[in-house]
Amino acid sequence: MQKATFAGGCFWCMVTPFEELPGIHGIVSGYTGGHVKNPTYEQVKTGNTGHYEVVEITFDPELFPYERLLELYWPQIDPTDADGQFHDRGSQYRTAIFYHNEQQQEQALQTKADVAASGRFGDKPIVTEILPADVFYPAEEYHQDYHKKNKKHYKEDREKSGRDEFIDEHWQQS
């Protein structure tokens, strides 16, 4: 088993693209990249801890290669937004790929270059960071599988975020 860690704005919206796929053995919402040990959601949401909201995915690379995870990751985000994602603003909502080994780093850097070269964002730079994995802190239990536990609120939040419209406009193109 290997780990993959992705920051793509609100971690609630980053679970569903990866769940229930063969070779994916777990998805945990949490925090990484900051300077506070064992941060709480209340601390992270201030934007003062340095943490990103992330999902940590446990996967079997023989059944679901890391490249496929990257292929699923990029179309979930606006990689040109350095100040958050969609209606979620602040440093805790920045995008990043946290690599766990040299191969993941190389693949992440290559896919970032591919996204930049695609021209789908015009002359806007791709600001998604490629960073070494750091200590991961699982988020509080009520954040885990939020889309299942709080279906109505999740659906309303996702609809008003603008994420789906952005995905349709920028990523559904051939």
Q: Dihedral through CA 152, CA 158, CA 160, CA 162, nearest 10?
A: -160
Q: Distance between the two ends of the chain, CA-based, in angstroms?
A: 32
Kindly give, in sequence order, each residue whose CB lies less than 8 Å from that of residue 158, ignoring residues fewer than 6 positions away: 12, 13, 164
**Does residue 10 carry a catalytic annotation?**
yes
Backbone phi and psi for residue 24, each to the nearest 5 degrees, phi listed first: -95, 120
Catalytic residue among 10, 27, 70, 108: 10
Strands in 95-99's sheet, in edge-to-edge order, are: 129-132, 95-99, 2-8, 52-59, 24-32, 136-138
Phi, psi of 58 (to 5 degrees): -100, 125
Active-site residues, by number, are: 10
